[in-house]
Chain A
Amino acid sequence: MNTEAYEAVIGLEVHTHLLTRSKIFCGCSTTFGAGPNENVCPICMGMPGVLPVLNRRVVELAIRTGLAAHCTIAPYSIFDRKSYFYPDLPKGYQISQYETPICKGGYIDLPAKENGEARRVRLTRIHIEEDAGKNIHHENASLVDFNRSGVPLIEIVSEPDLRSAEDAGAYLRQLRAILRYVDASDGKMEEGSFRCDCNVSVRKRGATEYGVRTEIKNLNSFRFVEDAIDYEVGRQIAIVEAGGKVAQETHLWDPTRKETRPMRSKEFANDYRYFPEPDLPPLVVPPEMVEQVRASMPELPADRKARYVREGLTEYEAGVLIADRGVADYFEATLPGLKNRKSAANWVMTEVLRIARESDRPFTEAVPPATKVGALLLMVEAQKISLNAAKTAFAAMVKSGKGAEATIAELGLAQVSDESAIAAAIDKVLAAEPAKLAEYRAGRDKLFGFFVGAVMKAMGGKANPTVINQLLRAKLAG
């Protein structure tokens, strides 16, 4: 099978919860993890006679996201009812936006490929809607939890601009980073607050027409998205190669069997009968509101990355740091007083991120406060401690929560730069190793490192290596 002759055409629909305290049309809490049906009221339970009232914060967050993705913000949009029956949908319709989304157009730039090729993914639209509840199936009964019913969502629809599973993964990561930057979403796939449906088709390379697409649902991790696309692209190429036709259907990803399978047509063949929601007035967004939101926008990841590169970091370093707004903010909080940004960047990328990865807790709770790490790095820069001592101190700080100075003092890690003490240690080492000394002087330069190590050991690891080097060279030279 000649897969090289084909290219995949992929578009993504991302649903993400917005970070509001209350639901989109009622005052219930949006907190995740409450007991079943604790965050509910007559409105989000769809009781007879209730009416929706739009949460203003939802509109602000949708606009923030739209501005971050270079969309046009619609000055006038309306809500529509999307009708279908499902036990988790209390009103029998979902309030959504159909023909008039709040954001139109726009794009997201992905980090350039290794060959430097820029990648821009165009967006079709972003619209506001409400989430449904959740069905829970037991052996003999199905239960419904309406805590999620009415949690605000935006749906971000991309154009079919993606060409590989890897592209799709990069797009999702970039999108999630943006959502987190603008405080619109926490992007937690595992809690269902960031969900993705994929539209996938294949065509011969160079073709301009699209192939028949399938939609894949039930993708709740980046891995699943990538695996499902890879599987589906392979499946479709095989069908086309064998002379068959891809059927336009909706598939579910089965993560255990690692394959997609078509849903029963009964499960998705709906005529949604959209019509304008008569219970909500049109959503009017005056230009002043857009400007107000724009003025409150934080620096976006792409801008921040460009700034880091201007300030001396490599593309790679900047890319790692900005990927998560929390990490980038942390990095910047270590910087005051430091001359060397690069060493701070390296420290955050290696030591700090390692601790974060090893912990189950959220980033900010897992790692020591940035100001304390900044103080530690300042001591390294002032040569008060060695890099190795800093690592030891850092490990202790993670456990104890104490500050840098206190930890260094407690562990006796302060670096010795006193020349007379170091000179005395060198004399002792040279006296104890006459054979090695003779060898060195006979031309075995490699032994220099051995002597440095021995002196450092004699000094309990606390001596300033620069001073050791200087003095040792002079002494060895005789």
Chain B
Amino acid sequence: MASELNKLTIAEASSKLHAREISATQLTRDCLDRIAAAEPRLHAFITVCEKEALEQARAADARLAAGNAPALCGIPLGIKDIYATRGVRTTCASRILEHFVPPFDATVIERLRADGAIFIGKTNLDEFAMGSSTENSAFGATTNPHDISRVAGGSSGGSAAAVAAHECLGSLGTDTGGSIREPASFCGVVGIKPTYSRVSRYGVIAYASSLDQVGPFAKSVRDAAIMLRTLAGKDVRDSTCSARPVPDYERALTGDVKGLRIGVPREFFVEGMQPEVEQSVRAALKNFESGGASTVEISLPHTGYAVAAYYLIATAEASANLARYDGIRYGLRVNAEDNIALYETTRAQGFGAEVKRRIMLGTFALSAGYYDAYYLKGQKVRTLIRNDFERAFERCDLIVTPVAPTTAFKLGEKMNDPLTMYLSDIFTISVNLAGLPGMAMPCGYDSNNLPIGMQLIAPPFAEEIILRAGDAFERTGAFKPRTPAV
């Protein structure tokens, strides 16, 4: 434990690894030690891959010694347990996939593997990414490293907590309605949801296909940029994935926000939100202004309909996406007298309450006679929300909002009230509906010493603007990270 290399950023560790000042094996061991110490309180991981990680570390060391290794070579990462990883069980935090070992890698896993990244473990999540607190995991909740009586956020809570607690240097999450940005905000780390189609979804267990997007968690904006460069880009196995060339995101980090026009949507500063959240985000806006940026109030008038539209579209897609878990080919099977009874008992025992709730909602929204009133209406609202953003971006280059109305809430606080839970994503959901890139990054703490996150939103494929602004904010030193309690 003495060396604590796990506390390094990716950029720092990478330069030390390439300079052979440290070894990937040592770095990995420090992460594993940290995991062993912190996991009893955090439960950020479903599966820790100690043996595999150390093997990968040895291979990375050989590659680093040979020279010319990629930036992520030897960097230990946490992988949300929603990514198919060849030979390592992939549960999606569900009983129905508890023992499922995929025979293939997700495209992004393949890319990270090719770069020599180290997969230290599979991180916890809300079952099938359905939730905002990681309390819906079939294997128990993840706690917040800043206060273990509170949630880490969700659905990618394990990935956010693991990075915040230095159990790994970076991690992968997925974001369908805020599942990267909300836990990033709650845990005080950087999390990016890229433009829809920027990153391949192949091998990422689908929740809502038209909204799901892959993204990184990191300790700094620079680290997130380094990871995104490896993740992004065309994939022949995902026909919804964009062929646009991937820029070198790190080069966008100029530290300069002069002339940047920042839109501040009035609908995102609502009554009832925690006052410290608003204060902290407003302070960050002032910080941008002193760096030479300008702010302008904008309106996104259909924001109020986003949550409703999301829960029609996402659940409809989920109801079909989760139909494959039928007990026939893989995963849990509960035998019964005929195939229909087999489906019923398998799915009744295999899925948790929130997953069942959403499958039923989605099935209803697609049923004969209801399609036009629900699913189709949801899609129309989606178009209106997209148009809102298009109009807004005529007046600004970047939109800044809070990530969530509050800081991390208490474990159990919202579990019996799904509707209140759904409102945790009120500021993030419209970004998914519009397919835009959004980043959460810490901008302050509340009086309980809990991180506050701000959200940076840009037009499609303008991740560089977000990264440049976020990095510039970090450089001002206005935000001083505090060591988490765990």
A positions within 8 Å CB-CB of B: 42, 45-54, 81, 83, 85-87, 90-93, 142, 144, 266, 271, 273-275, 278-281
Contacts A278-B210, A279-B209 known; A49 to B316 CB distance under 8 Å? no
Q: Which one of B103, B201, B209, B323 contacts A83 once the chains associate, using CB atoms below 8 Å?
A: B323
Taking a contact as CB atoms under 8 Å apart, the answer to whether A280 and B239 are in contact is yes
B239–A278 CB distance below 8 A: no
Chain B residues touching A, range: 35 or more
28 contacts between A and B (CB under 8 A): A49-B82, A49-B102, A49-B106, A49-B206, A50-B202, A51-B201, A51-B237, A51-B239, A54-B239, A81-B320, A83-B366, A85-B343, A90-B328, A90-B329, A91-B324, A92-B320, A93-B320, A266-B340, A273-B320, A274-B366, A274-B371, A275-B317, A275-B371, A278-B208, A278-B240, A279-B240, A281-B239, A281-B240
CB distance from B475 to the nearest CB of A (A): 38
Q: Please, what's the 1-or-0 string for B433-457, where 1 marks a CB less than 8 Å from any CB in chain A? A: 0000000000000000000000000
Asked whether, in the complex, the Cβ of A48 is within 8 Å of the Cβ of B320, the reply is no
Interface pair B323/A85, CB less than 8 Å apart: yes
Residues of chain B in range 106-132 having any CB-CB distance to chain A below 8 Å: 106
Instruction: Return chain A residues, CB-CB under 8 Å to B343.
Output: 85
4 A-B pairs besides A53-B239, A91-B323 with CB distance below 8 A are A48-B206, A83-B319, A274-B371, A279-B206
B355 within 8 A of A: no
Q: Mark B72-108, 1 if CB is under 8 A from A, else 0.
A: 0000000000111000001010000100101110100
Bound CA–CA A301/B88 (angstroms)? 56
Asked if B375 is an interface residue, CB under 8 A from chain A, the answer is yes
CB-defined contacts of A278 to chain B, threshold 8 Å: 208-210, 240, 317
Chain B contacts for A266, CB-based, 8 A:
340
A42 touches B103 (CB 8 A): yes
Q: Do the beta carbons of A273 and B367 come within 8 Å of each other?
A: yes
Number of A-B contacts (CB under 8 A): 108
Taking a contact as CB atoms under 8 Å apart, the answer to whether B205 and A49 are in contact is yes
Residues of A within 8 A of B210 (CB): 278
Chain B residues whose C-beta falls within 8 Å of the C-beta of A42 in the assembled complex: 102-104
Task: Decide if A49 touches B239 in the complex (CB within 8 Å).
Answer: no
B335 to chain A, nearest CB (A): 11
Contact between A92 and B326, CB atoms less than 8 A apart: yes
Given known contacts A85-B323, A93-B320, A48 and B239 CB-to-CB distance under 8 angstroms:
no
B330–A47 touching, CB < 8 Å: yes
**Distance of B391 from chain A, by nearest CB (Å):** 25
B236 proximal to A (CB < 8 A): yes
Q: Verify B205–A87 contact, CB threshold 8 A.
A: no
**A251, B317: Cα distance in complex, Å:** 32
The docked-state distance in angstroms from the alpha carbon of A54 to that of B371 is 26
A48–B204 Cα gap in the complex (Å)? 8
Q: Mostly helix, strand, loop or mixed at chain A's interface? A: loop
User: Residue on A with the closest CB to B100?
Assistant: A48
CA distance A281 to B238 in the complex (A): 10
CB contact under 8 A between A93 and B323, given known A47-B104, A48-B102, A49-B84: yes
* Minimum CB–CB distance for B365 against chain A, Å: 9
Q: B92 contacts which of A48, A90, A92, A274 (Cβ < 8 Å)?
A: A48
- Is the C-beta of B363 less than 8 angstroms from some C-beta in chain A? yes
Task: Contacts A49-B84, A51-B202, A279-B209 given; indicate if A144 touches B323 (C-beta within 8 A).
Answer: no
State in angstroms the CA–CA spacing of A184 and B350 once bound together.
43
Can you list, as one digit per residue, whether each of B196-230 has a CB less than 8 Å from chain A (1) or not (0)? 00000111111011100000000000000000000
Closest chain A residue to B203, Cβ basis? A49
Q: Judge whether B320 and A83 touch: CB under 8 Å.
A: yes
A53 — which chain B residues lie within 8 A by C-beta? 236-239
A237 to chain B, nearest CB (A): 32
**B residues near A144, Cβ cutoff 8 Å:** 328-329
**A275/B202 in contact, CB under 8 A:** no
Contacts of B208 in A (CB 8 A): 278
Q: How far is the CB of B262 from chain A (nearest CB, A)?
A: 32
Contacts of B97 in A (CB 8 A): 48
Q: Is the CB of A271 within 8 A of B368?
A: yes
Q: Which of B100, B236, B323, B367 neighbours the largest number of chain A CB atoms within 10 Å of its CB?
A: B323
CB distance from A329 to the nearest CB of B (A): 37
Q: Which residues of B346-395 have CB atoms within 8 Å of chain A's CB atoms?
A: 363, 366-368, 371, 375
Which residues on B sit within 8 Å (CB–CB) of A87? 326, 328, 339
A273 B366 Cβ-Cβ under 8 A: yes
Task: Give complex CA distance A42, B329 in Å.
Answer: 11
Find chain A residues with CB under 8 A from B317 CB: 275, 278
User: For residue A81, which residues in chain B have a CB less than 8 angstroms away from its CB?
Assistant: 320
Residue of A nearest to B239 (CB): A53
Evaluate contact between A273 and B239: CB separation under 8 angstroms: no
**Which B residues lie within 8 Å of A50 (CB)?**
202-203
Nearest 7 Cβ contacts at the A-B interface = A92-B323, A273-B366, A278-B209, A278-B210, A48-B205, A49-B203, A46-B324
Q: Which residue of B lies closest to A85 (CB)?
A: B343
- Whether B324 and A52, one on each chain, are in contact in the complex, defined by CB atoms closer than 8 angstroms, is no
Q: Tell me which residues across on chain A come within 8 A of B83, comparing CB atoms.
A: 49
Query: Which residues of the other chain, B, contact A281 by a CB distance below 8 angstroms?
Result: 239-240
Are A49 and B103 in contact, with the CB atoms below 8 A? no
Q: Which residue of B lies closest to A43 (CB)?
A: B237
Known: A49-B204, A51-B201, A275-B371. A85 touches B239 (CB 8 A): no
Kindly identify which residue among A47, A54, A273, A280 contacts B363, using a CB–CB cutoff of 8 Å: A273
- What residues on A are CB-neighbors of B236 within 8 Å? 53
Partner of A51, one of B238, B323, B329, B339: B238
Q: Is the CB of B239 within 8 A of A275?
A: no
Q: Which residue of B lies closest to A142 (CB)?
A: B339
Contacts of A274 in B (CB 8 A): 366, 371
B205: A residues at CB distance < 8 A: 48-49
Give chain A residues whose Cβ lies under 8 Å from the Cβ of B204.
49
| Complex alpha-carbon distance, A83 and B202, angstroms | 21
- In the complex, the answer to whether A47 meets B84 with C-beta atoms within 8 Å is yes
CA distance A271 to B371 in the complex (A): 12
Cα A46 to Cα B330 in complex, Å, equals 10
- A88 CA / B427 CA spacing, docked (Å): 42
Of chain B, the residue at the smallest CB distance from A40 is: B329
Chain B positions within 8 Å of A47 at CB level: 84, 102-104, 329-330
Bound CA span A271–B236, Å: 33
Contacting pair B103 A275 (CB below 8 A): no
Chain B hits for A90, CB < 8 A: 324, 328-329
Residues 308-323 of chain B, each 1 if its beta carbon lies under 8 Å from chain A, else 0 = 0000000011011011
B89: shortest Cβ distance to chain A, in Å? 12
CB distance from A400 to the nearest CB of B (A): 51
Bound-complex Cα distance A205 to B371 (A): 40
Q: B238 — which chain A residues lie within 8 A by C-beta?
A: 51, 53
Q: How far is the CA of A42 from the CA of B107 in the complex (A)?
A: 13
CB interface residues, B 168-221, toward A, < 8 Å: 201-206, 208-210
Q: Whole-angstrom distance between the alpha carbons of A134 and B77 in the complex? A: 42
User: Considering the chains assembled together, what is the distance between the CA atoms of A50 and B209 in angstroms?
Assistant: 11
Instruction: Say whether B366 contacts A275, CB under 8 Å.
Output: yes
In whole angstroms, how far apart are the Cα atoms of A93 and B363 in the complex? 13
A280–B210 Cα gap in the complex (Å)? 10
Shortest C-beta distance, B332 to chain A (Å), equals: 13
* Given A85-B340, A90-B329: A48 touches B366 (CB 8 Å cut-off): no
Closest to B369 in A: A271
Assess the B328–A48 pair: CB atoms within 8 A. Answer: no
Residues of A within 8 A of B82 (CB): 49
Closest approach, in angstroms, between the C-beta of A275 and any C-beta of chain B? 6
Given contacts A47-B330, A49-B204, A49-B206, A279 and B239 within 8 Å (CB-CB)? yes
